[in-house]
Structure 1
Amino acid sequence: GESSLQSPENVQVHVVNTNFTLSWDYSGSEPNVTFSAEFQWPGLEDTGWQELPGCQAVSAPGCDFSSAISEYYDAHYVRVRARAGPLLSPWSQPLEMVPEHLAQIGPPGLELQSTNGVMKIKVSPPEANQRKKMWIDDLSFKYNLVFWENSSHAQVQRKNIFPVDTIDDLAPDSTYCFKVQANLPLEGKQGLFSPISCVKTTQKVADLLCATNLSVLALNMKFHLLWSNQENQEVNYNVQYLYGFQKKLNDDYSDKWRSVPGCENITSTCCNFSSIITTTGFYYLRVQARGHNKSCFSREIKVDPLKTNGIGPPGVRLDLSDTLLHIIISPPGGPENEVMRDHYDLSYRILYWKNSSDKEEEVKQKEVKQTIAMVPDVSPSSLYCVKVQAFSEPYNKSSAYSQQECIHTPAGSRLPLLIFGIFMGALLVVLLVATPLVFVLYQAYNKIKYVFFPSCQPPLNIEGFGTQPFSSPYLPAAEEPVENCCVIESMITEEGNEIDFTAYKHSKQSSRDSGNYSNDNNSSGSKGSKETLEKEIM
């Protein structure tokens, strides 16, 4: 076709939930001008540009093409041109858009009901009951309620609410207007407000049976719920709790309340509900009063354990060592309270001073993370006092100071004399133990040396007898070479003389005792005997 028409300009796409609208500007003045649009996305690359459903031959500078888009996280491209009879304009510059990036959160649904002076509110997600959804996780929405009294002096109020919630303290018999918006804080998206709805509040009927002035007293993870009784007559109470996450659901949670163990059908106005508390999540509590054949629920109170809980003072113990003051700290709640130790990241602020009656001493301060601290260079014969405070920087909480603990340091230090005394005592003990030990070792050494390494040598006439080496008499008899010679007691020579070896045996044994032998007849006899024996053997 001919190209004498101007191209559409300022092409834009508007997305609310899954509703897509295309708009543009056209400055031409030709009559009977119509517009058509085409789109393209990665799934259609093979077929090129396709006609955009809902945007063909439209006369207005805009069209709805919600039915054409089903992939909300892919990039899409759109373009528009004008037609007037046979005349066609060039295509506009292609516009790139990612549906999820452009999408706005639509207005949520809002239902209101006033009962006994309380406004009950129910909010439905922006895409409730829709088949196609841009926002898959309905539970991620945070709802911002804006309300005001419909009067000339109206003051706008804002409140973050759950899908099912209540508003108290509204003026009775007054008209209030409400609107609500759904937001996704993590994605930085704020939704559109719902249409304004106005409701007249009802008169609140006072019920003296209901528990009032609910408060929570919590210290070191010990939780107590307190309330007031409006009647002097006996009333039974039942304390109930609800897990906080159940209020985030879009369902009615009225049947999800549970009774606190140990706080059922009680007459006192106090309940210890520590047994239900954990460090994850938060809770809601309420008190049901029963009497006179009727019952009444109190207002709800929210409990976030780690935020509601208070930190108690720590325990303190003092000890002395030389010139050091040791401060031993017990975490609040005692060492068995792991929640206080592990979840609050506790630090300790220590105040210490020298308690002197004659002058006012400066109070010194130190902060530590450990449960043991030391104060150096304390003065002798002085009274030192300490008190400690626990605090948690992550939770911006601090305890009261502990009770003042004091300790008296001993008189002047005798440390050098004490060290010298210990040294001398140790030295004396070493001497008393070492002297007998050395003596015993020395005697054992002499015995061993005497037995195995004798210093004396036998006479030459015995040492050289035969070819047998000299042996110690202390060796066993089986090992003495001399026994090999004692088998023969005597022998008769050819001449008939008897040679007696007893003398030789005796002299060999005696040689170990005296070591001195004379060269008299015995020596000659021994020599003769030796010669005769050799001849006999030959």
Structure 2
Amino acid sequence: MRPAHRQLLPLRSPCWPRPHRQQHGAVRALPAHAQSFGASGNGAGTGSAEGRVQDGAAAMVVGVGCAAVAALLSCFLVVLPLRCAGQTDLKSPQDIQVYVVNTNFTLRWNYTGNDTNVTFSAEYRWFESSDTNEKVRETEWKELSGCQNVTRTECDFSSAVTKYYDEHEVRIRAERGEELSPWSSIFEMTPYAIAQIGPPGVELQSTNGVIKIKVSPPEANQVRKMWIADLRFKYILVIWENSSNPEVRSQSIFPTDTIDDLAPDTTYCLKVQATIPLEFQEGLFSPIFCVKTTRKVNDLLCATNVRILALNMKFHLHWNSQYKQHVSYNVQYLSGYRKTLHDDYSTEWLSVPGCENITDTQCNFSSIISTTPGLYYLRVQAMSENNKTCLSNEVKVDPLRTNEIGPPDVKVDISDVSLHIQISPPGGSECEVMRDHYDLSYRVLYWKNSSNNEEEVKIKEVKQTIATVSDLTPSTLYCVKVQAFSEVYNKSGDYSKEECIKTPGDKSLPLIILATFVTALIAVLLVAMPLVFGLYQIYNKIKYVFFPSCQPPLNIEGFGGQVFNSLYLSTTDEPIENCSIIEAITEEVNQIDFKDYKHSKQSSRDSGTYSNDSDTSGSKASEETLVKEIV
């Protein structure tokens, strides 16, 4: 490593004479007069010369002392930078990173200096935490084992860290001999939080057209483990055909599993990854393994097309038989959790009760299905008369997902204009699994049953087993069907049979008619009464004028017609009567009687019965006529 070059400034002291520069920077040590002790001249001159010599000697002594001090100071200042150069010139490492795979710890950094023969050393400390995840105690800085005096820009310190859940701090510096760089920035980490899952172990076996695979945990056979529970691991298989244009497929597998649906005599390559889904952790893939498949032996004894039919938690296993001779079957099952273990489960298969040594090609295995959710695996073992056996492919049963929801039973009733629907859950009320685990809801469809095909189908969803539909049209035939469904499992069942019922007539119609009639009657009365009253008044006036109710006095009763005819009503064509003169003997009328008549008439007129002018004029005319007749 090259030392740093520093420029030292010349020191000037009060006791140091200013140098006289010459060409090439020569300096004269003494003045010219100090070099000559001249003999010429008088004594005075000699005395003066001696004084000058003494002064020059003193100046030389002082100059030599100052030069010595300056030389020592210059040497001190020159040596001091050289001793501190290691701490100021070496650069600190940068970009500190820690990589953790399982329990393997690697420290990496960058160094931008051009110095040679540089080594690196690291220190660490951690904070011991309590149950509340609070920092309790900070430890002292310690040398990081595996990262002392390393020449590369990375080191392995797996043996130094044992507290995987505590917070750690790491720092590093560069060194060259006794020269030390400043410490780098501190890198903080919690091992478990930054750890990555390592690749799992993989074993393969190609047999009878399938590939059997066995996966071991990433930290198998290790004393120190970052991942304590192996059961949390889920394994992802990526497999493809070793060809120019491979189709890559990915699937989840168990620690011990079988890969089927492969082409015979074909080379497949695969790799496996371990994951912890609950913590969203994805590990590193295993190395790539390639294996060639074999041809599958077609054994007619084996059961084929094994399938499951399940309705309302009633499970049946069906299969096909190709064997023409006598054969018996034994249905076996395995609890799904055993496949998540890394142990051998080949001896854990059990026989289904009631499905042992049967000759039929179906079996009811509802008895093994527990009310607790879980997976099951089933297979069929075929046995010939000579005790030859053959195992079918396995089928997986997830009861609550494999099961199909059947149609519910429905009863309908009507009241007024409301439709009441009573629903019985699929499987009956005694089926607790259907009721409790599925958390069923019901979709009610109802519509008018008419010849109009465009009638709208209305939908109503309910959680209860009783539904009410209102706002129906009276005297109308309605039809209903119900479907059960589960939002949790995203499953819908079949619809029930259609149930139809007719709504009753509208009982409020007579009341409406009666109310309308009463209202109309009241309106008519309110209008007719004033009209009748007005007509009655007009009738009275006419009757009063043309048909008075009072009678005229007796003394003028005989003249009414003539008076009326002659005075008030003039006819356009008066009839002419043929009269004959009859001679009559007239008696003299007592003048007194006439006067009495006139007086009576006058009194009658004054009584107010006929008080109008027309009556008066009529009376006068009658009187004149009467006088003429008498005469």
Q: TM-score, normalised on structure 2?
A: 0.63
RMSD: 2.2
Determine which of 257, 266, 270 is the counterpart of 1:178: 270
1:332 is matched with which residue?
426
**Secondary structure, aligned partner of 1:246:** helix
1:313 aligns with 2:407: yes
Q: Which residue of 2 aligns with 1:109?
A: 201
Pairing partner for 1:286 from 342, 356, 379 = 379
Q: Who is 1:236 aligned against?
A: 328
Structure-1 residue corresponding to 2:362: 270
Structure 1, gaps ≥5 residues long: 418-538
Shift, 1:206, TM fit = 0.6
2:125 and 2:138 in contact (8 A); partners too: no
CA displacement 1:357-385 (0-9 Å, x = unmatched) = 69975443322222112233555655433
2:446 corresponding residue in structure 1: 352
Choose between structure 1 and 2: higher helix proportion: 2
How far is the alpha carbon of 1:223 from its aligned partner? 0.7
Contact 1:80–1:92 at 8 Å: present in 2 too?
A: yes
User: 2:168 touches 2:190 (CA, 8 Å); kept in 1?
Assistant: yes
Residue 133 (1) aligns with residue 133 (2)? no
Q: Are the aligned partners of 1:220 and 1:311 in contact in 2 as well (CA < 8 Å)?
A: yes
The CA distance in 2 between the partners of 1:112 and 1:191, in whole Å, is 20
The Cα of 1:203 is off from its aligned counterpart by: 1.5
Per-residue deviation, residues 110-159 of structure 1 (Å, max 9, x unmatched) = 00001111100000000001000000011101111111122222222211
Give the match for residue 579 of structure 2.
none
Residue of structure 2 equivalent to 1:7: 92
Alignment check: 8 A CA contact 1:81 1:88 kept: yes
Tell me what 2:243 maps to.
151
Find out whether 1:89 has 2:181 as its counterpart: yes
Are 2:231 and 2:340, in contact at CA under 8 Å, matched by a contact in 1?
yes
Report the counterpart of residue 57 of structure 1 in structure 2: 149
SS in 2 for 1:263: coil
Contact 2:98 2:107 in 1 (8 A): yes
In structure 1, how many angstroms separate the alpha carbons of the residues matched to 2:479 and 2:118? 94
SS of 1:247's partner is helix
Q: Distance in 1 between matches of 2:148 and 2:304?
A: 66
Instruction: Name 1:34's counterpart in structure 2.
Output: 119
Q: Which amino acid aligns with 2:124?
A: F
- Deviation track 1:372-407 (CA, whole Å, cap 9, x = no partner) reads 122335556554332222222222221221112233
- The change in CA–CA distance for 1:19 and 1:407 in structure 2 (over 3 A counts) is same
Asked which structure has the greater RCO (Cα within 8 Å, sep 6+), the reply is: 1
Query: CA separation in 1, counterparts of 2:181 and 2:440?
Result: 73
Instruction: Give the Cα separation in 1 of the matches to 2:327 and 2:436.
Output: 41
Q: Does 1:208 align with 2:300?
A: yes
- TM-fit CA distance, 1:300: 0.7
CA distance in 1, matches of 2:142, 2:505: 100
Instruction: Tell me the secondary structure at the aligned position of residue 193 of structure 2.
Output: helix
Give 1:34 shift.
Answer: 1.2
Question: CA separation of 1:188/1:382 partners in 2, compared to 1, >3 Å: closer, same or farther?
Answer: closer
Q: Does the aligned pair in 2 maintain the 1:324–1:378 contact within 8 Å?
A: yes
Bigger shift: residues 172-181 or 36-45: 36-45
Q: How much has 1:243 moved relative to structure 2?
A: 0.8
- CA offsets, 1:460-484, max 9 Å, x none? xxxxxxxxxxxxxxxxxxxxxxxxx
Post-superposition CA distance 1:432-482 (Å, at most 9, x none): xxxxxxxxxxxxxxxxxxxxxxxxxxxxxxxxxxxxxxxxxxxxxxxxxxx
Q: Residue 110 of structure 2 aligns with which residue?
A: 25
**In 1, distance between residues paired with 2:144 and 2:340?**
40
The CA deviation at 1:273 is 0.8
Q: Deviations over 1:291-350 (max 9, x none)?
A: 143111111111111111111111011223344332111111111112212222222222
Distance 1:63 1:413, change over 3 A: same
Q: Structure 1 39/316 Cα, relative in aligned 2: closer, same or farther at 3 Å? A: same
Secondary structure at the counterpart of residue 399 of structure 1: strand
1:251 aligns with 2:361: no
| 8 Å contact from structure 1 (residues 210, 298) kept in 2 | yes
Residue 101 of structure 2, aligned match among 16, 27, 49:
16
CA distance in 1, matches of 2:485, 2:137: 63
Other structure's SS at 2:159 match: helix
8 Å CA contact 2:421–2:466 kept in 1: the answer is: yes
1:231-279, CA deviations, whole angstroms, 9 ceiling, x for partnerless residues? Answer: 2322111111111111111111111111111111111111111111124
Work out the CA distance in 2 between the residues paired with 1:377 and 1:9.
Answer: 78
Distance 1:411-1:118 versus aligned 2 partners, 3 A rule: same
Distance 1:192 1:372 in 2: 55
Aligned pair in 2 of structure 1 residues 84, 349: CA closer, same or farther (>3 Å)?
A: same
- Shift in CA distance, 202/319, structure 1 to aligned 2, threshold 3 Å: same
Q: Does 1:364 align with 2:487?
A: no
How far apart, in 2, do the equivalents of 1:217 and 1:177 lie? 36
| Length-normalised TM-score, structure 1 | 0.73
Q: Deviations over 1:407-431 (max 9, x none)?
A: 34556749999xxxxxxxxxxxxxx
Paired with 1:371 and 1:201, the residues of 2 have a C-alpha distance of 56
Q: Give the aligned partner of residue 343 of structure 1.
A: 437
- 1:310 maps to a residue whose letter is E
Contact 2:126 2:138 (C-alpha < 8 Å) held by counterparts: no
Q: Over residues 18-50 of structure 1, what are the superposed CA-to-partner deviations in whole Å (9 max), with x where a residue is unaligned? A: 011111111222222111111111359676211
Determine which of 188, 213, 218 is the counterpart of 1:121: 213
Residue 467 of structure 2: aligned partner: 373
My pick for the range that moved more, 363-372 or 65-74, is 363-372
Structure 2: unaligned runs, 5 residues or longer: 1-83, 129-135, 512-631
- The alpha-carbon distance between structure 1 residues 101 and 375, as it changes in their structure 2 partners (threshold 3 A), is closer
Pairing 1:70–2:162 present:
yes
Kept in 1, the 8 Å contact 2:126–2:139? The answer is no
**298-307 or 150-159, larger mean C-alpha shift:** 150-159
Instruction: Output the CA distance in 1 between the equivalents of 2:278 and 2:490.
Output: 25
Query: Structure 1 residues 363, 87: CA separation in 2 closer, same or farther (over 3 Å shift)?
Result: closer
Partners of 1:250 and 1:70 lie apart in 2 by: 27
The residue aligned with 2:352 is 260
* 8 Å CA contact 2:416, 2:504 repeated in 1: no
Distance 2:452 2:258 in 1: 65
Contact kept? 1:73, 1:100, Cα under 8 Å: yes
Aligned partner of residue 461 in structure 2, secondary structure? strand
Distance in 2, Cα, partners of 1:339 & 1:175: 46
Task: Name the structure 2 match of 1:425.
Answer: none
- Which runs of structure 2 are paired with 1:417-456 in the superposition (5 Å)? none
SS in 2 for 1:395: coil
Largest Rg, 1 or 2: 2
2:312 is the alignment partner of 1:220: yes
> C-alpha offsets along residues 152-192 of structure 1, whole Å, 9 cap, x if unaligned?
22222211101010100212122211211111122221111
Separation in structure 1 between the aligned mates of residue 176 and residue 503 of structure 2, nearest angstrom: 106
Q: Alpha carbons of 1:27 and 1:295: their partners in 2 closer, same or farther (altered >3 Å)?
A: same
* Percent sequence identity over aligned pairs: 68
In structure 1, distance between residues paired with 2:137 and 2:472: 85
Q: Is the 8 A contact 1:380 1:413 kept in 2?
A: no
Letter in 1 for 2:381: Q
The code of the aligned residue for 1:15 comes to V
**Alignment-derived partner of residue 100 in structure 1:** 192
What secondary structure does 1:344 align onto? coil
- 1:48 paired to 2:133: no
